[in-house]
Amino acid sequence: MDNLDNPAEDVLAGVGPRLRALRRARSATLAALAKETGLTASTLSRLENGKLRPTLEQLLPLARAHGVPLDDLVAAPPTGDPRIHLRPVRRSGLVLVPLTKRAGGIQAYKVIYPPADRSPTMKLQTHEGYEWFYVLDGHVRFVLGEREFRLGAGEAAEFDTRIPHWIGSAERRPAEVLTLFGAQGERAHLAPAGH
């Protein structure tokens, strides 16, 4: 049967190359993606090469791992609506709202930190890359190595993420920031719990 007669086959045929491009844009290996999604490296390879027809059960964890809507994986036809539909992600007590929709490169997020009295235990983290953030609302407690800062609305910080760091609300109300980070930062902040 010709793909012109079966548009679903045409859509599914493009999933593999999109999956491969998303994984490579994140510099992720098949083994790392397998660990993140619960799928085997062999299954991921077969999906990327078009040797296995993707199922919804496979596509959902892949969309989550890559931080893209399911529509992006299957290249759903445009609806004529130019707005970006923001889908918040909850991780470690934070709410992260993606503001960009492309794989790889610098990503923009609005991050909402819970009130200081409801914040998870302060655990400094490190990862490759640089990060920049701008405080939109509230006050932020920012720990960078041995130093600690308090930033208010309108203040920004940029830092090397190889230095142990932690960011959280400094008050009994949420703090909101606009943040930019690369693929390494995205993996560090958006990896599912336990990874």
> Which pLDDT tens digit goes with each residue over 84-137?
667 788 877 888 888 876 666 788 889 999 998 877 677 888 888 889 999 999
- Of 53-57, 81-85, 105-109, the one with minimum mean pLDDT is 81-85
Q: Distance between CA atoms of 189 and 183, rounded to whole angstroms?
A: 10
Categorize the per-residue pLDDT at 171 as very low, low, confident or very high, splitting at 50, 70 and 90. very high
